[in-house]
Amino acid sequence: MTESDLELVEGSGNVFRDLGDPDADLKQAKAILAARIVAVLDERGLSVRKAAALTRFAAADFSRIRNADLGRFTLDRLMKMLAALDDRLRVTLRVDTAREDEAAMAG
């Protein structure tokens, strides 16, 4: 394979959207929160059992997050877990009105 056989495509910043997932934004938000939870565990040297003892969330939940098994988690549960570990949590939600306008015009 040569360089001429390859095409470089810039992603959107959301791999789930790039792959056509209908729940792309939700999955991206969950992944961002989960990554921060894992980072806090690592920064503080916490095992899943120690994190469970500190937060009263199940050790199995922290284990699932470490394994990127996020299907059982809602956004609010992930936010509560992160807030229990790190009180510096700040979440910003932005509504993209341009996409809403496009959808309304297409409908």
Is a pLDDT exceeding 60 seen at residue 40? yes
Q: Is the dihedral of CA 45, 51, 53, 55 positive or negative?
A: positive
6 falls within a domain: no
Position 47 scores a pLDDT of: 98
Q: What is the mean pLDDT of residues 92-99?
A: 76
Query: Residue 97 is part of which domain span?
Result: 17-106
Cβ atoms of residues 38 and 65 within 8 Å: yes
Model pLDDT for residues 16-31, shown as the tens digit of each residue: 999 998 999 999 999 9
80 falls within a domain: yes
Is a pLDDT exceeding 80 seen at residue 59? yes
- Chain-centre distance for alpha carbon 85: 16
81 falls within a domain: yes
Cβ atoms of residues 34 and 82 within 8 Å: no
Is a pLDDT exceeding 80 seen at residue 73? yes
Give the number of domains in the chain. 1
1 falls within a domain: no
Rg of the chain, C-alpha, whole Å: 18
43 falls within a domain: yes
- CATH number of residue 59's parent domain: 1.10.260.40
Of 6-10, 13-17, 75-79, which gets the smallest average pLDDT? 6-10
22 falls within a domain: yes
Nearest to 25 by CA among 36, 14, 10, 11: 14
2 falls within a domain: no
56 falls within a domain: yes
One-character DSSP codes across 3-55:
GGG-------S-HHHHTT-TTHHHHHHHHHHHHHHHHHHHHHT--HHHHHHHH
